């Protein structure tokens, strides 16, 4: 469409029309005109939906057709836009983002190529760390850890494993890498302190005060019975005792084999059929041969005369209290007293007498005599003579009686020559009416 360059008639037309309403919805304002829905302001004109201001321009003197707009004297067609006198076609944008070789920063079109993480800054399209890593000590302290290896993210967000230290006894490193003291049980508490009974108040393994019950005792023990607090014990009662129970489940001493502790626990007595040896340490059987190391005769407890008889083996004679004494016939040898008031054999003298101890079953087998030291001497006549007929005989003379070992009736035994000789060196020998005696006349 072409417009005339002569404006006066247009002005007259607008004036002539005045404020008259136009068909197709147009509205004139301040003397303008509108055609096909357009509007005119301040004397401008608009066609096909465009608008004109200040004499043929749309918005500061421009013109628009087919819905386009023009600013500062430009023109637009088919919906394009033009700024500062330019033109646009097809309705698109003229800015393309530029992010090649970039992971961050502006894209040139008002957007970004990406964002950096914490403790990072974008420099030349690249994310650069700006964080100063903490020390291992700082890492452990920030995480509240103080022992063992710890794995986690440091202050820069980087995973790290650091040794956070060691614990001091009694603390130990726990699963959460924190030093703590794990309290011991009451049983462990008592065992550690060496206690096993009663109520115990002490400091536990973590240095904390604790009171715990450490158990009870079994009779005859009692808690503290041995003088140690919170320890089961019993004080043995062995004063004046050599054997038997001590009252605490133990003994005051053990008796040797074949013996029994006396009722007053003052010592041990050999059982029936046994007798103590010369060392008083063992009980040896009676009626058996004595060992070569044992004296032929010895005293036991100053009462018993123990004989090593060649025919009957080990035997003993009860001399009575304090009536068995050393006889001087060899180391450790002793025998019953004799020839004295209150002695075992008060009427015994050097002439001797034929006796039969309780252990012998053979009549007149033994000859007893009293030595000058008032100690009894004994011979087994069968053993001395070496004859089964050997016996103790007493013969009667005008000077008195004399006993000794004889080989047989009227047949004496010569100790010097170990031979049997006639009993009567003078006169004749005849049996005396008293059994076991004969007469020399």
Residue 276 to residue 333: CA distance in whole angstroms = 15
Can you read off the two tokens belonging to residue 435? 């059994």
154, 164 in Cβ contact below 8 A? no
| Contacts for 65 with CB less than 8 Å, ≥ 6 apart | 47, 48, 50, 75, 76, 77
- Segment 314-320 shows an average pLDDT of 92
CA torsion angle for 56, 60, 63, 65 (degrees, to 10)? Answer: -130
Higher-confidence position of 25 and 440: 440
Residue 368 to residue 353: CA distance in whole angstroms = 5
User: Above 90 in pLDDT, residue 138?
Assistant: yes
Percent of the chain at pLDDT exceeding 70:
78
Residue 105 to residue 112: CA distance in whole angstroms = 5
Can you read off the two tokens belonging to residue 423? 């009993």
User: Above 70 in pLDDT, residue 141?
Assistant: yes
Q: Where are the beta strands (DSSP E) in 7-76?
A: 27-28, 33-34, 39-41, 45-46, 51-53, 69-70
245, 253 in Cβ contact below 8 A? no
Give the chain's mean pLDDT.
79
Query: Residue 166: phi, psi to the nearest 5?
Result: -125, 155
Sign of torsion, CA 418 419 423 425?
Answer: negative
The CA-atom distances, in angstroms, between 236 and each of 162, 240, 252, 372, 418 are: 62, 12, 8, 50, 61
User: Above 80 in pLDDT, residue 22?
Assistant: no
Can you read off the two tokens belonging to residue 39? 């509007």
Strands 411-414 and 419-422: antiparallel
267, 240 in Cβ contact below 8 A? no
Higher-confidence position of 413 and 35: 413
Higher-confidence position of 437 and 13: 437
Can you read off the two tokens belonging to residue 140? 């452990």
Query: Residue 106: phi, psi to the nearest 5?
Result: -70, 150
Residue 175 to residue 163: CA distance in whole angstroms = 14
Q: State the pTM of this model.
A: 0.47
User: What is the DSSP secondary structure assignment for residue 21, as one 8-state letter?
Assistant: P
DSSP string, 223-265: ETTTS-TTSEE-----TT-SSSB-SSSSBS--PPTTEEE-TTS
Residue 123 to residue 121: CA distance in whole angstroms = 6
CA torsion angle for 253, 255, 260, 262 (degrees, to 10)? Answer: -40
Least confident range from 232-236, 276-280, 345-349, 363-367: namely 276-280
What confidence tier does 26 reach under pLDDT thresholds 50, 70, 90? very low
User: Above 50 in pLDDT, residue 187?
Assistant: yes
DSSP string, 177-210: S-EE--PPPHHHHHHHTT--SSEEEEE-TTS-EE
Least confident range from 47-51, 166-170, 322-326: namely 47-51
Q: What element of type H or E holds 211?
A: strand 209-213
What confidence tier does 76 reach under pLDDT thresholds 50, 70, 90? very low
- Segment 162-187 shows an average pLDDT of 95
Helix (H, G, I), strand (E, B) or coil at 126: strand
Can you read off the two tokens belonging to residue 38? 């357009």
- Return the residue matching tokens 């357009």: 38
């Amino acid at each position: 469409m072409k417009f005339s360059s002569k404006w006066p008639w247009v002005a007259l037309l607008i004036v002539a029309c005045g404020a008259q309403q136009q068909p197709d919805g147009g509205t004139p304002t301040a003397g303008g005109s509108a055609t096909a829905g357009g509007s005119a302001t301040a004397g401008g004109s608009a066609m096909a939906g465009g608008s004109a201001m200040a004499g043929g321009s749309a918005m500061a003197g421009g013109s628009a057709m087919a819905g386009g707009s023009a600013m500062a004297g430009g023109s637009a067609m088919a919906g394009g836009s033009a700024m500062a006198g330019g033109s646009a076609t097809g309705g698109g944008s003229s800015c393309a983002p530029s992010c090649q070789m970039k992971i961050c920063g502006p894209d040139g079109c008002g957007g970004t190529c990406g964002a950096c993480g914490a403790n990072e800054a974008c420099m030349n399209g690249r994310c650069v760390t700006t964080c100063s890593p903490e020390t291992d000590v700082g890492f452990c302290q920030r995480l509240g850890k103080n022992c063992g290896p710890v794995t986690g993210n440091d202050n820069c967000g980087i995973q790290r494993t650091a040794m956070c230290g060691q614990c001091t006894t009694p603390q130990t490193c726990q699963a959460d890498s924190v030093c703590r003291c794990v309290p011991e049980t009451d049983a462990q508490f008592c065992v550690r302190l060496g206690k096993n009974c009663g109520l115990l108040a002490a400091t536990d393994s973590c240095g904390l005060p604790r009171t715990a019950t450490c158990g009870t005792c079994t009779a005859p023990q009692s808690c503290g019975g041995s003088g140690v607090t919170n320890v089961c014990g019993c004080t043995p009662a062995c004063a004046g005792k050599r054997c038997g129970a001590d009252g605490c489940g133990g003994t005051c001493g053990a008796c040797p084999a074949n013996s029994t502790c006396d009722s007053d626990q003052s010592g041990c007595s050999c059982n029936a059929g046994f007798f103590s040896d010369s060392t008083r340490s063992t009980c040896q059987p009676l009626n058996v041969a004595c060992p070569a190391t044992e004296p032929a005769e010895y005293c036991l407890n100053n009462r018993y005369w123990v004989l090593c008889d060649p025919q009957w083996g080990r035997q003993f004679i009860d001399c009575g209290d304090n009536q068995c004494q050393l006889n001087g016939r060899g180391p450790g040898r002793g025998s019953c007293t004799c020839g004295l008031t209150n002695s075992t054999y008060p009427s015994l003298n050097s002439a001797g007498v034929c006796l039969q101890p309780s252990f012998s079953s053979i009549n007149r087998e033994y000859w007893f005599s009293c030595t000058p030291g008032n100690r009894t001497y004994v011979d087994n006549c069968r053993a001395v003579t070496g004859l089964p007929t050997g016996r103790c005989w007493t013969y009667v003379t005008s000077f008195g009686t004399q006993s000794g070992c004889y080989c047989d009736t009227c047949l004496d035994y010569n100790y010097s020559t170990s031979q049997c000789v006639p009993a009567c060196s003078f006169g004749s020998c005849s049996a005396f009416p008293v059994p076991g005696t004969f007469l020399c006349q």
